[in-house]
Amino acid sequence: NRQIVLAERPVGAPAPKNFRVAEAKIPVAGEGEMLLRTVYLSLDPYMRGRMSDAKSYADPVQIGDAMVGGTVSVVMKSNLKGFSEGDWVVNMGGWQDYSVSNGEMVFNLGKEPAMPSWGLGILGMPGFTAYAGLLEIGEPKEGETIAVAAASGPVGATVGQIGKIKGCRVVGIAGGEEKCKHAVENLGFDVCLDRNSPTFAQDLKDACPDGIDVYFENVGGAVFDAVMPLLNANARIPLCGLISQYNATSLPEGPDRMGMLMGTLLVKKIRMQGFIIFDSFPNLYPKFVADMQKWISEGKMKYREQMVDGLENAPEAFIGLLEGKNFGKLVVKIGE
């Protein structure tokens, strides 16, 4: 059982030396358990948090343990009702070839699912994050302007496309021309701006003549600085992620702008609400799956994956994710 384990905790940006390839015995499925062979491993920004032992909503990965991660796997042996040999499942198998599960938080995709890896993206955790955060917290109304960064990634791309379905003007923000072109031409965003452009803040202002009603926050940092003055009265901010801060080791330099932020929230009566997808919307998942499957079948939802081959390449791909090197949902194919 090949594994990628956490070798040491990163300080700042993760580096290859923080990971180690290890060989463990193939685990045995006991009573009420099943043995799963991993086919696809999802790489997601939250994994940076699990590498750190700072207090968070979930426990950190221990040094020497396999990294955690969502996976699509095939059932090899099942001592569990509802799962049989050959079923494909979405589970939390981690960065390894085999895992054992008691069936909790496992979704059975059946014997021959059409696009099994989509269960890690648009039809899984990131898709649900976009759906729930935008609709439940963002509450977009027809004609309003939505802004979202990391626009070509699985969360941002889905937020923008749902925004279009709801009749909104959608302004994307992404790193580089190619990603922006994709957001407009393939995903149907009204406009997409390069966050690396020296004129980014002005570009965003020009692209939002009626201000911003919903800012779906994925990144924080300089993008939020450009968004803040454009927020309209009664704007909503689903606070989903702050990827620009995940590798930070200290607070940024400069004057303390907390008072300015709080003042803006106050006078504009803005609602900013954080959420953690695993527990914030306990009853919404079935509705998400039904709506998303319908939108996909109607051709209203486009989805881009970046597939990396081989478990040994997961660390490098993950390090790149935190630098914006991925283009689309990052998935590692680790088995057949």
Strand blocks (E) in the chain: 2-6, 19-23, 34-42, 71-78, 88-91, 98-101, 107-110, 145-149, 169-174, 191-194, 212-216, 231-239, 271-274, 305-309, 329-333
Touching ligand NDP, residues 100-139 (CB under 6 A): 126, 129
Q: Which is nearer to ligand NDP, 2 or 179 (CB)?
A: 179
Pull the structure tokens for residue 119.
Answer: 């269960």
Min. distance of Cβ 38 from ligand NDP in angstroms?
A: 19
Q: Cα separation of 108 and 239, whole Å?
A: 30
Q: Cα separation of 3 and 6, whole Å?
A: 10
Min. distance of Cβ 223 from ligand NDP in angstroms?
A: 5
Q: Which is nearer to ligand NDP, 85 or 225 (CB)?
A: 225
Answer yes or no whether residue 152 interacts with ligand NDP by CB under 6 A. Answer: yes
Residue 268: its H or E element: none
Answer yes or no whether residue 61 interacts with ligand NDP by CB under 6 A. Answer: no
Q: Which is nearer to ligand NDP, 75 or 330 (CB)?
A: 330
Touching ligand NDP, residues 223-252 (CB under 6 A): 223, 240-241, 243-244
**Among the residue ranges 68-76, 173-181, 207-215, 257-265, the one whose residues contact ligand NDP (CB under 6 A):** 173-181
Asked whether 133 and 238 are in contact (CB, 8 A), the reply is yes
**Among the residue ranges 61-69, 97-105, 262-270, 318-326, the one whose residues contact ligand NDP (CB under 6 A):** 318-326
Per DSSP, 220 falls in state -
- DSSP assignment of 37-54 equals EEEEEE--TTHHHHTS-S
The amino acid at residue 111 is: K
Answer yes or no whether residue 277 interacts with ligand NDP by CB under 6 A. Answer: yes
Among residues 27, 113, 221, 335, the one that binds ligand NDP under rule CB under 6 A: 221
- The residues pairing with 237 across neighbouring beta strands, listed in sequence order, are 272
Pull the structure tokens for residue 45.
Answer: 């920004």
- The residues pairing with 100 across neighbouring beta strands, listed in sequence order, are 35
Min. distance of Cβ 228 from ligand NDP in angstroms?
A: 15
**Interface with ligand NDP (CB under 6 A):** 44-46, 126, 129, 149-150, 152-156, 174-175, 179, 195, 218-219, 221, 223, 240-241, 243-244, 275-277, 321, 324, 326, 330
